Structures are given as structure tokens and as C-alpha cells.
Amino acid sequence: MKRGPAERMGLDRISGLYLLASFVLVFGVWKPHLFLTASTAHVVAEGQAVPAIVAIALLVPLVAGAFDLSVGASANLSAIVATVLQTHAHLSMWPAIAGAVCVSALIGVMNGFFVVRLGVSSFIATLGMATVVGAVQAMVSGDVQPLSPTTGAWTTLAQRQVGGFQVVVIYLLVVAVVAWWMLERTPVGRYLYAAGGNADAARLSGVRVGRWTWLSLIISATLSGVAGILYGSLSGPSLTFGASLLLPAFAAVFLGSTQIHPGRYNVWGTLLAVYALATGVTGLQLVTGVQWLNDLFNGVALLAAVSFAVWRQKRARKLARSHVLASRREAARRWVAGKNAAVESPQKANATAAASVEA
């Protein structure tokens, strides 16, 4: 297959990396003293760790063909539960975290029940669940932002410095590696992709589609619960941060599906998207100093990402198909050549043809 210059430079697979580099270049030249600093790198890396974990959480059910619109709500509830268990119930940190993780896992179990057992569309089931979770959160917190636990363990949980970065970045890397391993290197990942690709065909190939979809929803809820706890440790138990995580997570996963392994939701593409977008937003904020840029940028990125993904997929199909056609035609050409050489004797031509078909 001939590869154009765009393919050779990886523009079809890693355009996000180029985008990231160009952001660094542009803002680095524009505001070198503000942008090209260690603190900017830290702000971006640490600030995006929690949204990136939520994006990975969202990715897992999307691979299996299910939307989870409750990831933001689970993250938020989990942060509040972890806090309230420590401040009100006076549990120590780890039992409180365990409680919060269990609560979010339970959200996933219920999502799975509606989606898999009752056959409700995942879009609707998780949207409803998100609303219910919001109400539960108001109940638990009494609609008053709880005080942050004052123990050192709670703050160092996400803020401890490791190699100059807050440890939450390391958590993100661990989550990403585990998610990548699960999706790309285990049968479970194959089953999830198969279920998302064609549930009927997967079922007839012996994949327990319902079971894996259910599991994917439990994973997404649990993982977003973990992300929520980390957010609580980083920034305190806000009552509203969850909702603002949802859209950027979708933007990242969709944009990520055009990267690294185009046409497929994948972990590294998602991470690349998160950090490319965040770098752009941070740079623009440094230049202009306005806050609404964040929403604008993420919204535009989501639209652009999905449009690009659709376009990219169409093009990929076409390219791949032309590859297939080319190989078929190559066989035809060899056959024609063989036949021209043997035009005198049709019998011989047939024999050549048969030979070239077999070859």
C-alpha cells in the first residue's frame, strides 16, 4: 500500500501529538515566562489527572457499546461519602475510602441491572441514575458542603510529591496501564470490543455480552468513585465538581478514538486528547486571562472531535477498501498478463489463469 506524506508523518494516527507540540510551541513563543515553566507543567499534569481517570472510566463501557452518563455523579457522591464518613462518622481514612468505593460500585451494579437485565437504553438508564445519585448526594450532605477532613493522611493521599509531581499523576499512570492491559491484552478486552462492535455476533461466538457490559458499567462507576476521592483529597469535597467532569471526559474519549488506534476507543488516545486539550486551554488562559475559555474550548473540541472521528472513519474504510481492491486487481492483472501471453491457445490460457488464481 502506498503511503502518502500525511500517513508517513503519522498525521492519521498521532495528530493529537502534533497539536500538543504546536500548542507548546505557540504559547512558548508567545508567553515564554508564563507558559514554559515547571509550574505550568505541574498545573496541567496534576489538574488533569482526575478528569483523565474519569475519561478512562467512561471509556470502558463505551468500548462495550454502553454510555455511562453517571460517571460525574458517581465521582461527586463518592467524594462526599468519603468526606462525610471521616468528618461525621469519624471513621479513619481507609475504611471511609472503602465505603465510598463500595457506594460507587453499587451505582455501577444498579446501572448494569437496568441496562443488561431490564434492557433499558444505557443512555437513559445512566442519565436517570445520575439524577438519582445527585439526590442521594444532597441527602448525605444535607446540601451543605462538608468540611474537608483535617488529617494529614487525607491531604497526602493525592498531594504527596513524587519526583516533583503530585502522586495523583502516578495514580493516573497506573490506572491507564491497567486499563490498557485489560482492553488490549486480555480476553476481557476482546469481549468488550466484540460486544460493542456487534452484540449479536459476539453472543453467537460465545461471548457473554450481558455479563461483560454489566462489568464494564461497574468498572466505570467504581473508577469514577476513585477519581472522586482523589478530587476530594486534592481540592476538597465540592458539591458540584462532578457535573463539570462529564463533558470533558466525553470530549477526550471521542477525540481519543481518532488517535493512536483510529476508529477505536483506546486508552492512550484518550490520555493524549486530555492533555492536548488541557495544554491548549491553559495556554489560552495565560494569554487572555479569561475563565470561560475552558467551557468554550471543551465544547468546540467535542464537536470537532466527533466530526473528525466520523470523517476519519469514513476515510479509513475507503482507504482500507482500496487496499483490498488493489490486491484483487493485482491478481487480475497478473491473470490478464498470463492470458495475453497465451492468446493462441485458450486451453493454455485457462491453465495459466488457474495457476495465477491459485498463486
Q: Which residues bind another protein (CB under 8 A)?
A: 181, 185-187, 190, 193-194, 197-198, 200-208, 263-264, 317, 320-333, 335-336, 339-340, 343, 346, 349-351, 353-354, 357-358
**C-alpha cell belonging to residue 218:** 461497574
Count of H helices and E strands in the chain? Answer: 17, 2
Which residues, including other chains, have CB under 8 Å from residue 196's CB and lie 6 or more apart? Answer: 62, 63, 64, 65, 66
Closest CB 56 distance from another protein, rounded Å? 19
Nearer CB in complex with another protein: 56/63: 63
Closest CB 68 distance from another protein, rounded Å? 20
> Where do we find the cell 476521592?
229
DSSP state of 10: T
Closest CB 194 distance from another protein, rounded Å? 5
Closest CB 192 distance from another protein, rounded Å? 11
Nearer CB in complex with another protein: 153/336: 336
Half-sphere exposure of 281 (CA within 13 A, CB side): 23
Closest CB 269 distance from another protein, rounded Å? 16
Closest C-alpha among 246, 220, 273 to residue 63 = 220
Nearer CB in complex with another protein: 121/198: 198
> Where do we find the cell 468500548?
63
DSSP state of 149: P
Nearer CB in complex with another protein: 102/351: 351
Q: How are beta strands 165-166 and 161-162 bridged, if at all? A: antiparallel
Nearer CB in complex with another protein: 21/325: 325
